[in-house]
Chains A and B, each alone.
Chain A
Amino acid sequence: MTAPVEVTPREELRVVGTSVVGHDFEEKVQGALAYADDWRMPGVLHGKLVRAQLPSARILSIDASDATKLPGVRAVLTAADVPLNEVREEASGLGLQPVSMPVLASDRVRYHGEPVAVVAAEDPAVAERAAELVIVEYEDLPGVFDPEAALEPGAPSVHEDGNGLVTWRFERGDVEAAIARADHVVEGTYRTHHVDHAYMEPEAGLGWIDPNGVLTLRVSTQVIEHVREIARILGLPTTRVRVMGTYMGGGFGGKEDMTVEPYLALLVWKTRRPVRMVWSRQESLLARPKRHPFVMRYRTGVSGAGEILAQDVRIVGDAGAYPLLSPRVLFAGGVTACGPYRAGAARVVAVAAFTNNVPTSAFRGFGAMQVVFGYESQIERIAEAVGLSSKEVRERNFLRQGDPLVTGEEAETHVGAPECMEAALGALGEAVRRPGAGHLRRGVGLACNIQPYGRSRYIGDKAQCWIGLERDGSVTVRAGVTDLGGGQAASLGQIAAEVLGADPSRVAVHIGDTALTPLTGGTFATRQLYMSGNAALKAATELRGRIAPVAAELLDVPVDQLEFAQDQVRIRTNPARFLSLGELARAAEDQGLLPQHLGTFIAEAGEFDPRTGRGKTFPDYTYGCHACEVEVDTETGVVRVIRYVACHDVGRAINPVRVEGQIQGGAVQGIGYALTEDVAIDDGVPRSSLFADYLIPTSMDVPDVQAIVLEIGPGKGPFGARGIGEPPIAPAAAAIANAVADAVGIRITSLPISPERVLDALGRGPAVGDFSG
């Protein structure tokens, strides 16, 4: 069933669709905005974690006596001090057997960097020295560091019940029969790597006990709803804990799981003092969850005309030592593994395996990113096999509205990938492509993608937003969203301003406080515009509906003659007759009608059967296409991106400049993922935890990104918007790999596309693998 989407025409919108600058940005450019580590409290203690130095070991003893003796040390806590030492999230949402993660490792450690103890001291330098003085005695245990090896019989067990965390199976049609019928069977194995979010703001927070005895944490987090887990760990009622989210210095999924929260909570509760904690950059690189490495094995059956008859995909993802959000990441990867393309029959098996590597969890793109490298490399190979251009192969196979996905559910809204491809290729302009000189070769490549927005339907997602009109006509918005820097708060203000006719400067948005703002669910899964945006739209629309009759009566016109604009409610055909919003608010109050409203948005529900792999999964998808030109130095293997165009169909851009910014920033993160970023881990131990060695792109390493924002197919967000937070990171690696193939005729199937790997593929590389020196 395709639900009709009602969309207000652009010309009737006043605030939505314009690039209003949010208040927070004015604070940011002046350096005035207080991030998590910028808050101060008198008498604060400083927390520091003691982290495991081995990837797999039994803890024999922990000796904190030297640490405790250091002047200024106020607490050294270990597993025995944690009331309930487990984070037990059943991340699949389907009642799978959960595996718990300790807050502090008790009997054994499962990855290098796992927290073992936590120290609080009067001075941060003392806390750091004390943490070094906590002596942990280990017995080395065998570990397993490759996800496929982890699933082999006899592999060292990371957890008692074995190394298989989750296996998703999706199947539609008879894949084997379709492959038997195919003219070509194109096979490929693709491997991706560990990468770090590398947000500029390291994990940080401040905790204290407020006058009501409520344990209060002000932290940089995407998810204030972790308040429930924090309360559970401490054995407190949820209402005895309060979490306030600060404006984040970037998150990208890396602040979706808890970071400093449980440690701050423990230290505050034990010491009854305010406690501050910030993780060093090196700690963050060492031990924060990374993006999942995937091994993706594709077998694609195609007809002689290039039609995809069957997709057979097996994905194994490295979950690292603990579950975190791996089940959902593999779910999203599995659902989208066939890309924005039809397949006569399809089967996807997506497995998450435990290893003794650093855990992996949410990261912008969330599984649906890695698979783009798989399916878009396959498209190029199909094109080679059938002798068509890859553009033609895409055109012949693009998913269309109403077509089934691998789960059997339909693509419910417009699939804008074809228009995005036309626009991106048009902007890149094939004519400007020119051969490089000598050892420099140029090539162009493209990649399309499909990225879900919103959480899996069976989770039953909800969000609330409260909007009130003040007696002076200004507007208050309260919502529990957290703001990553993408303007999540400001967008809600724009929506409220649009509906109520208020000037955006007269709208105040209060966010991210479990005690005072209605909960919206965290900022992840590109869900906030869809969820809290719709909640804000509902709240504003319902509020307007409630107070409009008051205005209609005073202005003596029917309600449908009113318009809300310019801080007024007025008669559409006679704007000279109006009430100010303040007058309306006061008139409503005089009638005993409070001009405030709590809006609730409940996402479309749907059933999914994990045994058959069929049913409804995500609410909707955003589509895109990126195209680029690269230059390959055939003597060094260095790949430079010369030009880059990124196009997405966003349905409706609530704030065009911010949408462009999401696209440009996402694309550059994708370029870093493709070419330079790599958390290199040897047998569970990172080769480096220096930020200097984690190569996120600088301004010199990337070209300008031309962002093309299409508003073609209305989505399910407010005003027909589609989510745009995650989609733009995903196509870059495949687009660049395809451009490299175009330039030098070699296909890189493992990321990153490092100079050394390119040189090897060109047959000019040295004998590699000697990293031990």
Chain B
Amino acid sequence: MTRRAVSFELNGLPAEVWVEPHRTLLEVLREDLGATEVKYGCGEGVCGTCTVLLDGESVNACTVLAVQAAGHTLTTVRGLATEGQVHPLQRAFLQHGASQCGFCTPGMLLVAEEFVREHPSASRDDVRRALAGNLCRCTGYTKILDAVQAYVADGDR
């Protein structure tokens, strides 16, 4: 139960925390590192609001221990924007009204970014399948799919 130093890269910057092993990555990101953009939604790995990218792959921050992130690279939604400019996918979300209450939005953006990065010419149905693990209670998904599809179609991204 002894604390240990854990360091990783968070949104391109080095981060070091001093944590006990039983603390989840979600708790440490939110409470120790101020990364409140990573949301608690269920604690079961079901809802997707705590999604972060671990070495570029989406994971549930609520089902990873902070100590397990040692030496890895983490990206939250705040890591998508570059030099103060919102990411084209974020812009697409704004233009298409893909965010209502906004609580699912960080996780949704990260999973969508990851998927389109891996599947640059994904179809609407591919995107629909890819986002099935991220719950949204406001939009009914239609405008989220509109936004991701527009991002896929935007060759300049």
- Which A residues have a C-beta under 8 Å from some C-beta of B? 19, 21, 24-35, 37-38, 40, 197-202, 247-252, 278, 280-282, 484-487, 657-658, 660-661, 664-669, 690-692, 696, 698-700, 702, 704-705, 707
Docked-complex contact A250 and B40, CB < 8 angstroms: no
Cβ contacts A to B, 29 pairs, < 8 Å = A19-B97, A25-B102, A26-B94, A27-B102, A29-B86, A30-B37, A30-B77, A30-B78, A31-B77, A31-B78, A31-B106, A34-B36, A35-B39, A37-B40, A38-B36, A200-B39, A248-B101, A657-B97, A658-B100, A660-B97, A661-B140, A664-B139, A666-B140, A690-B44, A696-B137, A698-B132, A700-B128, A702-B141, A704-B141
Closest to B38 in A: A31
- Interfacial chain A residues near B61, Cβ < 8 Å: none
* Chain B interface main SS type: loop
Docked-complex contact A202 and B40, CB < 8 angstroms: yes
Docked-complex contact B141 and A699, CB < 8 angstroms: yes
**Within the assembled complex, what's the spacing in Å between the Cα atoms of A13 and B99?**
25
- Interfacial chain B residues near A280, Cβ < 8 Å: 43
- Interfacial chain B residues near A658, Cβ < 8 Å: 97, 100
Q: How many residues of chain B have a CB within 8 Å of chain A? A: 50
Known pairs A665-B138, A698-B132, A705-B140; A691 contacts B145 (CB<8 A): no
- B131 adjacent to chain A (CB < 8 Å): yes
- Interfacial chain B residues near A705, Cβ < 8 Å: 140, 142
Closest to A35 in B: B103
Docked-complex contact A31 and B101, CB < 8 angstroms: no
Task: Write the B21-58 contact mask toward A (1 if CB under 8 angstroms, else 0).
Answer: 00000000010001011011111101101000000000
Q: Which of A28, A32, A665, A707 has the most CB of B within 10 A?
A: A28
**Within the assembled complex, what's the spacing in Å between the Cα atoms of A38 and B35?**
9
- B157 adjacent to chain A (CB < 8 Å): no
Give the Cβ gap from B4 to chain A, nearest Cβ, in Å: 17
**Within the assembled complex, what's the spacing in Å between the Cα atoms of A248 and B103?**
8
Give the Cβ gap from A654 to chain B, nearest Cβ, in Å: 13
- B116 adjacent to chain A (CB < 8 Å): no
Docked-complex contact B139 and A661, CB < 8 angstroms: yes
Q: Which residues between 109 and 125 of chain B lie within 8 Å of chain A, taking CB atoms?
A: 109
Docked-complex contact B137 and A702, CB < 8 angstroms: no
| In-complex Cβ contact of A486 among B42, B78, B81, B100 (8 A) | B100
Q: Which of B40, B42, B143, B144 has the most CB of A within 10 A?
A: B42
- Interfacial chain A residues near B76, Cβ < 8 Å: 31
- Interfacial chain A residues near B36, Cβ < 8 Å: 34-35, 37-38
- Interfacial chain B residues near A704, Cβ < 8 Å: 141-142, 145
Docked-complex contact A700 and B135, CB < 8 angstroms: no
Docked-complex contact B43 and A250, CB < 8 angstroms: no
Given contact pairs A202-B41, A699-B145, A700-B129, enumerate 20 new A-B contacts (beta carbons under 8 Å): A25-B94, A28-B102, A30-B77, A30-B78, A34-B36, A35-B36, A199-B101, A199-B103, A200-B136, A201-B39, A249-B39, A249-B102, A250-B101, A250-B138, A252-B137, A661-B140, A665-B100, A668-B139, A698-B132, A699-B134
Docked-complex contact A661 and B81, CB < 8 angstroms: no
- B104 adjacent to chain A (CB < 8 Å): yes
Q: Which of B44, B76, B93, B138 has the most CB of A within 10 A?
A: B138
**Within the assembled complex, what's the spacing in Å between the Cα atoms of A487 and B40?**
23
- B133 adjacent to chain A (CB < 8 Å): yes
Docked-complex contact A692 and B137, CB < 8 angstroms: no
Docked-complex contact B109 and A29, CB < 8 angstroms: yes
Docked-complex contact B141 and A29, CB < 8 angstroms: no
- Interfacial chain A residues near B145, Cβ < 8 Å: 699, 704
- Interfacial chain A residues near B43, Cβ < 8 Å: 280-282, 691
Known pairs A29-B109, A281-B42, A698-B135; A201 contacts B97 (CB<8 A): no
Docked-complex contact B41 and A699, CB < 8 angstroms: no
Task: Write the B51-82 contact mask toward A (1 if CB under 8 angstroms, else 0).
Answer: 00000000000000000000000001110010
Give the Cβ gap from A659 to chain B, nearest Cβ, in Å: 10
Docked-complex contact A198 and B137, CB < 8 angstroms: yes
Q: Which of A201, A252, A690, A696 has the most CB of B within 10 A?
A: A201
| In-complex Cβ contact of B132 among A30, A198, A664, A699 (8 A) | A699
Closest to B81 in A: A30
- Interfacial chain A residues near B95, Cβ < 8 Å: 21
Docked-complex contact B140 and A667, CB < 8 angstroms: yes
- Interfacial chain B residues near A664, Cβ < 8 Å: 139-143
- Interfacial chain B residues near A248, Cβ < 8 Å: 101
Give the Cβ gap from A729 to chain B, nearest Cβ, in Å: 10
Docked-complex contact A200 and B137, CB < 8 angstroms: yes
**Within the assembled complex, what's the spacing in Å between the Cα atoms of A27 and B103?**
11
Docked-complex contact A665 and B140, CB < 8 angstroms: yes
